[in-house]
Amino acid sequence: MPAAFRPINANTSAMDTTEHQPIDGTRRLDVERLQHYDPDVEQRVQGWLGSGQLLVWIPILSQENFPGVPQQILQSVDQYQDAVRWPIRHAKDLLQLPNGITGWLMPATASDTDVACGAWDGEVYILGVKDRRTGKLQTLLGERADLVSGDGGDVEQSTV
């Protein structure tokens, strides 16, 4: 169930195969659907953005995201996840995420999510996260201990 769509920013030219959604300035994303596209995830993210509610992005503290950081440090910082929440008020805020770091995306009032998000070279991808060992989809709360230990999560890109 990984999502597979990528918002198209103003600097990206769309290819002929791009299926465009209406864009409302900062409230809707113009998207390119990719291989593992999941319309439920797209509708959810579009709904969050369209509602005007505050979203948060929380970096996934893993060796894949932070290869130079010792595992003990990642585990220690994990208890302070609330302090590292990145506010997302508009779709364009997603383009300001740290390049190459995957994080969880959810409404600020939510306690769990299965939507991950990251920015790579000016493009935003909405992702599903699977456990490498079991192949099961993960949530922020579902297998978080495994993600922090570096033993579990495997980010499977698909784009919004």
Q: Write down the domain spans for the chain.
A: 5-156
Beta bridge partners of 106: 56
Long-range contact set of residues 27-31: C-beta below 8 Å, sequence gap at least 24: 27/52, 27/90, 27/91, 28/91, 29/91, 29/160, 31/5, 31/6, 31/7, 31/159, 31/160
pTM: 0.70
Contact 116, 129 (CB under 8 A): yes
Q: What would the mean pLDDT of 13-38 be, rounded to a whole number?
A: 50
pLDDT band of 48, cuts 50, 70, 90 = very high
- 157 vs 6, 21, 68, CA distance in Å? 10, 21, 22
3-state class of 145 per DSSP? helix
24: amino acid identity, one letter: D
- The beta strand positions in the chain, using DSSP E, are 5-7, 31-33, 55-59, 86-88, 102-107, 116-120, 123-131, 153-156
Contact 89, 105 (CB under 8 A): no
Task: For 108-130, write each residue's pLDDT tens digit.
Answer: 999 999 999 999 888 888 877 77
56 forms beta bridges with 87, 106
CA angle at 2 for the pair 135 and 156, rounded to the nearest 5°: 65
Interval 131-142: pLDDT, tens: 778 878 888 887
Weakest-pLDDT range from 28-32, 70-74, 127-131: 28-32
